[in-house]
Chain A
């Protein structure tokens, strides 16, 4: 397996930030009450990961080992500040909805984890790709969890899409039944824990199925 496809596979599935590493759970659990919230925070985290991974990789030759962590934190904080100010300028309503969780991306362990564990040891290309794939894996879980909670909690999907895509996107909203009573638990914090647990169970169940039941796929050697 080439390095690129291994990085992709790691980020999206076998080493997924949210489902396997269980990092960045605070924003994951807090903002995924709707698809659009999840998507907004997911994109912000994705851009942060790509930028911080690239910068960390670029300066990896110049930073002494003893001070690397403060330097990484400074880089990540600067990137997040840039993203926060850009969101304030471009998606003000979404910025208000996500609130404190945008500046809190700084504290997302997934970002410093990738900077320390991957970007500081690899050239720019793979580091940026790793940031992209890890971010994408996180974003997919955010959107999926947001979708589950929104659908069960409010009976809608893509509500408030106008926050992100402008007024034309209002028609994107799907409503399954106008009489749906709403299931508040799914929107409240316990719903996030239940939802994430269900996603993790589903992934583990898929990975652990007996080999005989699997579709015959070309065997891919797992590199150690």
Chain B
């Protein structure tokens, strides 16, 4: 018997897919809890339902594709995709909405391309965009944060709503436009931003509830940076993109364009910058490419918000940038040392 020859590297890698995914989930926790604190337990129900459906779809498809089921379920990648997808949904979405969205996330977003690592588009955003295009009414029924309506639904009420056993009309008074929605329609009706900001939906920085949730995403994102789970290029470039566009137009006309701070802390910009755009599979892979990719998403978010048909544009911006990734990577290859 000869001893088995072991080649380098001799140090076991500290990171694995599973560890990476768990780190992302941990980083999502502060934001998720803040979100649930302001908007009620519907947020948590969405996440639980989405994770459950995602594991079911993942297991079923892996079985159909004759792949090892438990090994892939155990890497938590389905959970992370489902979690991000659920955070995009309005609270108190009916269960079938979650089911359809997760179905598209897992099948059309991931497995038709060959599974994790082969998908050109961010799966969670694919599922969300399918829902946004297909079910405009259900996807735009947003509920007021408890700090505005003075009334947060209990867990039981939220469950009853998700499973359709309670009357929808009963809570119609609680639903409203999001701050981004309100700015968009207000500006469309020639109302000045300073007047729109007087609505009870708005807090110190952006929307009430939304601003603190965004700051909590930011905290989670910083932790991802500190633990080196993500690199700084994409989030910094993305935030810079939104910020520079917003500053430019804000300085040009303060009454028609909302402040840069409002744009940063509204909607999905922060969670998009740290958690969605940084998906290692669908993002650009070179450092310069990552900066181009982040800037592109940032500018597209602002363009879609201000001149597009939807109040927020993170999902569309990420998918459009995903399409350009092969192109970006091709033109940003680092120069090999010693070559021209």
Residues on A close to B: CB < 8 A? 181-186, 188, 194
Contact = CB atoms under 8 A, between A and B. Distances in A.
A194 B130 CA distance: 12
Contacts of A194: 108
Which 3 pairs between the two chains have the least Cβ-Cβ distance? A185-B134, A184-B134, A183-B134
Contacts of B136: 184
Interface string B278-317: 0000000000000000000000000000000000000000
A209 B49 CA distance: 36
B135 A181 contact: yes
B217 to A, nearest CB: 29
Where chain B touches its partner, the secondary structure class is: helix
User: Most chain-A CB neighbours within 10 Å: which of B108, B134, B135, B138?
Assistant: B134
Contact of A185 (B133, B137, B138): B133
18 contacts: A181-B135, A181-B137, A181-B138, A182-B134, A182-B135, A183-B100, A183-B134, A183-B135, A184-B133, A184-B134, A184-B135, A184-B136, A185-B130, A185-B133, A185-B134, A186-B134, A188-B133, A194-B108
Interface string B125-167: 0000010011111100000000000000000000000000000
A47 B290 CA distance: 56
Interface of B: 100, 108, 130, 133-138
A33 to B, nearest CB: 14
A37 to B, nearest CB: 20
Contacts of B135: 181-184
B56 to A, nearest CB: 20
Contacts of A188: 133
Given A182-B135, A183-B135, A184-B135, 9 more contacts: A181-B137, A181-B138, A182-B134, A183-B100, A183-B134, A184-B133, A184-B136, A185-B134, A188-B133
Nearest to B112: A197
A49 B136 CA distance: 41
A181 B141 CA distance: 14
A28 B138 CA distance: 30
Contacts of B133: 184-185, 188
Contacts of B138: 181
Nearest to A152: B134
A148 to B, nearest CB: 15
B111 to A, nearest CB: 13
Nearest to A153: B134
Nearest to B136: A184
Nearest to B100: A183
A188 B100 CA distance: 16
A181 B138 CA distance: 9
A122 B278 CA distance: 61
Contacts of A181: 135, 137-138
Contacts of A185: 130, 133-134
A154 to B, nearest CB: 12
A151 B42 CA distance: 31
A181 B100 CA distance: 12
Nearest to A179: B164
A39 to B, nearest CB: 25
A194 B138 CA distance: 23
Contacts of A183: 100, 134-135
A194 B100 CA distance: 15
A75 to B, nearest CB: 42
Nearest to A184: B134
Contacts of B134: 182-186
B81 to A, nearest CB: 19
A185 B137 CA distance: 14
